[in-house]
Structure 1
Amino acid sequence: MSHGPSEERTEPSGSRTVGDQASSDGPTPTVPAGKSVAELTIKAVAIGLALNVVMLTANMYLGMRSGMTISASIPAAVISMGLFYGLRQVGIGGTLLENNIVQTMTSAGEALAAGVIFTIAGVTFLDQPIDIAGTATVAVLGGVLGVLFMIPMRRYLIVDKHEELPYPEGTACADVLEAGSSGDDGVKLISFGFLVSFLYMWLANGMAAFRTTIQTAFSAGETDGFAIGGDFTPALIGVGYIIGPKIAGYVFGGGLIAWLMLIPLLITGGFVPEEAADAALMTQAEAVWDAYIRYVGAGAMIVGGFYAIISMRETIVDALGTAGAELRGSAAAATESRKRTQRDLPMKVVVVGAVLVALALVAVPQVQVGLLGGVIAVIAAFLFVAVSAYLVGVVGSSSNPVSGMAVATILIAALAMKSTGVTDPVAVLVTASVVAIAAAVAGDTSQDLKTGYLLGATPRKQQLAQVIGIALSALFAGWVLYFFHQAYGIGSDTIPAPQAGMMALISEGVLTGTAQWGMILIGAVFACVLILMDVPVLPFAVGIYLPITLATPIFLGGLLRGGIDRYVARKDDEDGSLAEHVTSRGRIVAAGLITGEAIMGIVIGALYITGTGAESGAPFPLGLSGETQTVLGVVAVVTLVGLFVASVLRNTPDAADR
């Protein structure tokens, strides 16, 4: 799956693209491979662990409340820079790569939280209690698998596919850390994007001054249920700008197929769930998407995932061959002779670790998946780690469909277990939990490794930091989940945990024969057609699976990137320096937008947890009517786009003036 380099180039400013190293080995890292810099220090680990617990708690609450988590890498990097700045005032400094370790460890909590709340929390919908020890065990086993299986794929996805896979959050995080350490105009750009996004989301979610989600459903002739809309938040627009118009277009294309083709056909044909039959047209469309279209997306992702694995077969074979050589000891010296920036944890650690995790899945009583479940969990984890790591490189962690991969695992595991006489949906759910956690952690790990690749970090130290962060997150995950269940009740109006409820429903559905296999087959056939047309499958599948309200703002961000690039191309001279300058500015402002929304998400989560403000809705609502909120929402989006474009193009000279 190749993408045009003119649209998908993701190198930062000139410092990463000049010199012999840039021409032969990719971008020049901020910290050269031959330079030794403090990295995995006690100070960095302590700060990282503290922030890890905070992000874990905030994301578990927000995820069960809203159905989505927030990416922690960028806010962790910003908070870390602030802490290290304070430490420097008392004579205790911190290096760029220590900052990178902090964000690596912190983001582990956010990634693990997503896997836990989307799957393990589902046992409460099956009338089972939260098992604290069992949750910790499943979380740590799945998380470790995610890190281990990502190691042999790092060079292919992060290094070899550098230009094709932008890894938007990873690239943005590198820009944030680099700008913060250099003290140049980049700090002003990040600060501007941060403040705009922070204020925007406070007015929207903190005071209900306007709606970020603008959507509508309509009929055309005798066909009902056409739906379009978007959740126009700064982070999603920023992600779209970073990934560019081509990939954003694929995602949006999948959304159009789902919401302007499949859903109208199903609604007009009478396939509306009974509970939504008399509801408004938009509610009917959402119900059909939830009941049917998600299965179409899951089927497409299954085929697309396997196709991605087939496409990566040479890399996987090489990785397994390297593992065998290192286990025999013949490649150990070669591994140590690699440049610092190319040293991963030894492959024998990957192999032995994966075997131990597989044995633990079968032997540890708290897991209870059995031999078949353990085998399925490890194999599916390996496959979906690759899919997740590739997907987040395309559309970013915020749009990583972990729940879609969990659905695929549930379908496979339940079908296999049913054939052996298993009737307990909890066993299926726990098997899927291991895979979902592994996929979520792999997506996060790949973003962090992309950041490290651009900054010049040591992969081995980042991988160790990730494992340490996962271990702490896993220990707290069971207690945090138990606390929220006791305080609010998982499945209540306060924390409805929609993904967890869906996983429990599907687990029971497959075992009882009520799953939507026809829709899964439709998605699989659609993916096969895309493959025959040589069109990237996974971005389209993600667009089908995600709500149209996520695909649209990502596409808007991609359009902004395309429009700005075209505008600059008309003013640029032959050396392309102006285009490179503007692209770098845009990516840094986009990083600020992502950061501001993520930090505000934590603030709103803290208000909810402490009971500050109103019990439901925005903490401090202004009491505006729905129509007024919608109108102000349109004004807010237009203002946001205007400020973004102005900040990117500000003081842009004509070619004749340079």
Structure 2
Amino acid sequence: MEHEPSENHPEASDSRTASEQSTADGPSPYVPAGKSVAELTIKAVGMGLALNVVMLTANMYLGMRSGMTISASIPAAVISMGLFYGLRRAGIGGSILENNIVQTMTSAGEALAAGVIFTIAGVTFLDESIDIVGTASVAILGGLLGVLFMIPMRRYLIVDKHEELPYPEGTACADVLEAGSRGDEGVKLISFGFLVSFIYMWLANGMAAFRTTLQTAFSAGETDGFAIGGDFTPALIGVGYIIGPRIAGYVFGGGLIAWMMLIPLLITGGFVPESTADAALMVQADKVWDEYIRYVGAGAMIVGGFYAILSMRGTIADALGTAATEIRGSESAAMSDRKRTQRDLPMKLVVVGAVLIALALVAVPQVQVGLLGGFIAVIAAFLFVAVSAYLVGVVGSSSNPVSGMAVATVLIAALAMRSAGVADPVVVLMTASVVAIAAAVAGDTSQDLKTGYLLGATPRKQQIAQVIGIAVSALFAGWILYFFHQAYGIGTDPIPAPQAGMMALISEGVLTGSAQWGMILIGAVFAFVLILMDVPVLPFAVGIYLPITLSTPIFLGGLLRAGIDRYVARRDDEDGTLAEHATSRGRIVAAGLITGEAIMGIVIGALYITGSGNAEGAPYPLGLAGETQTLLGVVALVALVGLFTASVLWNADSAETVDT
């Protein structure tokens, strides 16, 4: 999103892109606040709803198959740009803010899918059937809570914390949309990144030509179980580049504590489940992480989340005060005087909507949470919406540990319900489902609002689009989940749904008294120590909770950013122009890497859904030996890093590199 110094985009002294350059009133958006541009139109809504259902289906399948979903914002932005380009040739066309509405509505389906498959799908592990109406009810109530609770936090997280929270996918999506609207060198850069990533992931996941995951476990002296490695995919490296070395370092630091300290201590101390006692060290490390370390990360996230809420207490109090003022009807004139780019849905709607949803959670029989569950769901949703929105601002939606927040909710809800005499784990699971869906949707909403903030969109219209997208996604979610369960069987080899199984296991474990409370306490104490040291807690907690295979590539992307910045700084002139251009190029190419992998994920998912190719490992495997795949994986990673670096530095000293 690079802009040349001009009256609208004044030159800044650092290396941030110009849409992030701060003026007296904040960043200068791509579309000025005083300019009216088509935004929430019929064609944008129709296109967004169609892509919404497609991404919902693809992500529900991929999430239950692999345990991870793909971020839909950037793929939706790219696809909508292509569709609008075709409409433009027919004389219709569309604005950049209409594109933004399309990606906002589309990503709602992806976010809701994550919450549904990580929690509601767990009822099948408790020998319950999929209730289509119940799934839709929980999904829409949880999703609306995520959107509503994000509204009073938008200004603090998106505007006031603009410098601190990069929101990598949101920023990358804005880069994509701006580059597409300009039709200049930026399009070439993002196209290059897209093609590299698309081909890379097809060779890796479509043909099994090489392995993206490179990992090893080893012993040192009397200590066993040290583990290190990474799933070196283009998207994770691109996210690391966008968030930068400092935040990436915190995430990686948490991963090192888990995989190079805690896991070796537990394995050496004999804390290895019997099922893997004789397995290879890497298998033992993975099992110990799954059985113990996740709880440490969850404990750290609980404390870190409450600390984040405490840090935001002034903002929350202001938001609640504003809501009270609006309800009394004395704020309407002031609301109308706000700039277009600062107009949210009214606080009155937030308060009334939250109350109605709370009542619905208790009154709708298919939701099955009861009075206590409804109370816990609303309070926990409010807290974890703030945590989720903050976390994705730090590490991005791809690494947002929604399942970790669901684990925390399961623990809290199960403990409270156990004391109240509730013995049904399904009630606990449905309570956690509301919170997980709200947290997932809030994370996506905050990324979309960041994109809109940089582009100059109207928050109110984005929030309306998000609500429409959530409503449509929820109506389809139950049917899609039911279909996959009937077609494959949730929990079977085709769709093992690992997070859902874990949630069901924890729900039963807490109610029966077998949960890992000691590990949770260790994580909580660790987080408290970090707070005393004035170290950011949540990035470390995310690093502990996530597999090391996710933390390492993010850190590699951060190192690439640091290395390129240092190299450019040595060649730069006094005004920092070269560094500014190199940073812009790098972020646009990184956005292309994220886009290519996400769209290839859709392609692979479509192949599996339609039954094309091989159902195991990859659709069209080459049949290479494992050692060959590993060696080629190293070569592919080196080539990826080399191509990325070359694309950023090639002709970067030209003032016309990214023209606007």
2:3 corresponds to which residue?
none
Given the two structures, how large is their TM-score scaled by the length of structure 2?
Answer: 0.97
Query: Cα distance, 1:13 vs. partner?
Result: 3.2
Q: Residue 156 and residue 552 in structure 1: after superposition, are their counterparts in 2 closer, same or farther (change >3 A)?
A: same
Does 1:447 pair with 2:451? no
Are the equivalent residues in 1 in contact too, given 2:404–2:545 (CA < 8 A)?
Answer: yes
The amino acid of 1:82's aligned partner reads G
**Judging changes above 3 Å, is the alpha-carbon distance between structure 1 residues 194 and 10 closer, same or farther for their aligned structure 2 residues?**
farther
Aligned to 1:116: 116
Does the alignment pair 1:414 with 2:414?
Answer: yes
Structure 1 distance, partners of 2:319, 2:649, is 44
Name the structure 2 match of 1:252: 252
Structure 2: gaps spanning 5 or more residues: 1-12, 656-660
- Alpha-carbon offset, residue 113 of structure 1: 0.0
Hey, what does 1:331 align to over in structure 2? 331
Helix, strand or coil for the counterpart of 1:244?
A: helix
Runs of at least 4 residues off by over 4 Å = 9-12
Q: What is the CA–CA distance in structure 1 between the aligned matches of 2:653 and 2:189, rounded to whole Å? A: 18
Q: Does 1:14 find its partner at 2:24?
A: no
Q: What does residue 570 of structure 1 align with?
A: 570
How far apart, CA to CA, are the structure 2 residues paired with 1:98 and 1:597?
24
Match of 2:352 in 1: 352
For 2:523, the equivalent position in structure 1 comes to 523
Deviation at 1:41, TM superposition (A): 0.4
Change in 2 beyond 3 A, CA 1:10/1:353: farther
Q: Which residue of 2 aligns with 1:379?
A: 379
Q: Deviations over 1:91-131 (max 9, x none)?
A: 11100000000000000000000000000000000000000
Task: Tell me the SS of whatever aligns to 2:224.
Answer: strand
Q: Is the 8 A contact 2:300 2:527 kept in 1?
A: yes
Name the amino acid aligned to 1:438. A
CA distance in 2, matches of 1:578, 1:461: 37
Partner of 2:4: none
Tell me how far 1:368 sits from its aligned partner. Answer: 1.1
- For residues 360 and 89 of structure 1, what CA distance do their matches in structure 2 show? 47
Contact kept? 2:18, 2:28, Cα under 8 Å: no
Identify the residue that residue 604 of structure 2 maps to in structure 1: 604
Task: Name the residue aligned to 1:508.
Answer: 508
Alpha-carbon offset, residue 451 of structure 1? 0.1
| Corresponding residue of 1:635 | 635
Deviations 1:552-592 (A, max 9, x none): 00000000000011111111112111111111100000000
The alpha carbon displacement at 1:492 in A equals 0.3
2:409 counterpart letter in structure 1: T
Cα 1:10–1:632 shift into 2, 3 Å: farther
Q: Percent identity?
A: 87
The DSSP-based 3-state class of the residue aligned with 2:218 is: strand
- 1:25 CA drift (Å): 2.1
Aligned to 2:180: 180
Assess, with a 3 A threshold, how the Cα gap between structure 1 residues 12 and 182 changes in structure 2: closer, same or farther.
Answer: farther
Which one-letter code corresponds to 1:536 in the other structure? P
- What's 2:316 paired with? 316
Question: In the TM superposition, what is the alpha-carbon distance from 1:653 to its structure 2 partner?
Answer: 3.0
- Aligned residue in 2 for 1:238: 238
Shift of 1:266: 0.3
Amino acid in structure 1 at the alignment position of 2:445: T
CA distance in 2, matches of 1:23, 1:195: 36
Structure 1 Cα separation of the partners of residues 613 and 93 of structure 2: 38
8 Å CA contact 2:15, 2:576 repeated in 1: no
Q: C-alpha separation between the residues in 2 aligned to 1:15 and 1:340?
A: 17
Which residue of the partner structure matches residue 53 of structure 1?
53
Q: How far 1:617 sits from its partner (Å)?
A: 1.1
Instruction: Check 1:255–1:617 CA distance in 2 against 1; reply closer, same or farther (3 A cut).
Output: same
| Contact preservation (8 Å) 2:61, 2:495 | yes
Q: Which residue of 2 aligns with 1:468?
A: 468
The aligned counterpart of 1:487 is 487
Instruction: Say which SS state the counterpart of residue 225 (structure 1) adopts.
Output: strand
16 and 252 in structure 1: CA distance in 2 versus 1, 3 angstrom threshold: closer
* Alignment partner, residue 132 of structure 1: 132
Q: Tell me by how many angstroms 1:16 deviates.
A: 5.0
CA contact (8 A) 1:11 1:27 kept: no
Determine the structure 2 residue equivalent to 1:153.
153
Residue 14 of structure 1 deviates from its aligned partner by 3.2
> What are the Cα deviations for residues 210-232 of structure 1, in whole angstroms up to 9, with x where unaligned?
00000000000010000000000
Question: What SS class does the counterpart of residue 477 from structure 1 fall into?
Answer: helix
Give, in angstroms, the shift of residue 10 of structure 1: 9.8
* Residue-pair matches, total: 643
Deviations 1:358-393 (A, max 9, x none): 000000000111100000000000000000000000
* Contact 1:237–1:553 (CA under 8 A) maintained in structure 2: yes
Letter of the 1:279 counterpart? A
The one-letter amino acid paired with 2:17 is S
The equivalent of 1:3 in structure 2 is: none
Q: Which amino acid aligns with 2:651?
A: N
2:138 partner letter: V
Letter in 2 for 1:589: V
Secondary structure of 1:315's partner?
helix
Counterpart of 1:5?
none
Q: SS at 1:119's partner residue?
A: helix
Residue 465 of structure 1: how far off its partner (Å): 0.1
Cα distance in structure 1, aligned partners of 2:446 and 2:341:
15
Match of 1:4 in 2: none
Whether the 8 Å CA contact 2:14–2:576 is kept in 1: the answer is no
CA distance, structure 1, for counterparts of residue 140 and residue 592 of structure 2: 32
Task: Give me the whole-angstrom Cα distance separating, in 2, the residues matched to 1:571 and 1:10.
Answer: 15
Counterpart position of 1:226:
226
SS of the residue corresponding to residue 23 of structure 2 reads helix
Task: State the Cα deviation string for residues 470-499 of structure 1 (Å, max 9, x = none).
Answer: 000000000000000000000000000000
Q: What is the distance in 2 between the residues matched to 1:26 and 1:395?
A: 23
Separation (CA, whole Å) in 1 of partners of 2:543 and 2:484: 32
1:511 to partner: Cα distance: 0.1
SS of the equivalent of 2:567 reads helix
Partners of 2:521 and 2:128 in 1: CA distance: 32
Q: Distance in 2 between matches of 1:118 and 1:571?
A: 48
State whether structure 2 residue 163 is matched by structure 1 residue 196: no
Distance 2:144 2:189 in 1: 37
The corresponding residue for 2:272 is 272
Q: Is the 8 A contact 1:266 1:288 kept in 2?
A: yes
Residue 145 of structure 1 contacts residue 357 of structure 1 at CA under 8 Å; is this kept in 2?
yes
Is the Cα contact below 8 Å between 2:108 and 2:473 reproduced in 1?
Answer: yes
Measured against aligned partners, the alpha-carbon deviations of 1:13-56 in whole angstroms (never above 9, x if no partner) come to 33653xxxx32122100101001111000000000000000000
Whole-Å separation in 1 of the counterparts to 2:372 and 2:643: 55
Supply the distance in 1 between the matched residues of 2:652 and 2:308 (Cα, whole angstroms): 41
Q: Higher mean Cα deviation, 433-442 or 329-338?
A: 329-338
Deviations 1:499-540 (A, max 9, x none): 000000000000000000000000000000000000000000
State the one-letter code of the partner of 2:190: I
Q: Which residue of 2 aligns with 1:551?
A: 551
Match of 1:99 in 2: 99
- Distance in 2, matches of 1:364 and 1:205, equals 43
Residue of structure 2 in register with 1:457 after alignment:
457
CA distance in 2, matches of 1:232, 1:416: 41
CA distance in 1, matches of 2:20, 2:226: 46
Conservation of the 8 A alpha-carbon contact between 1:62 and 1:605: yes
With structure 1 as the length reference, what TM-score do the two structures score?
0.97
Q: Aligned partners of 1:148, 1:435: CA distance in 2, in Å?
A: 13
- The aligned residue for residue 300 of structure 1 is 300
Partner of 2:74: 74
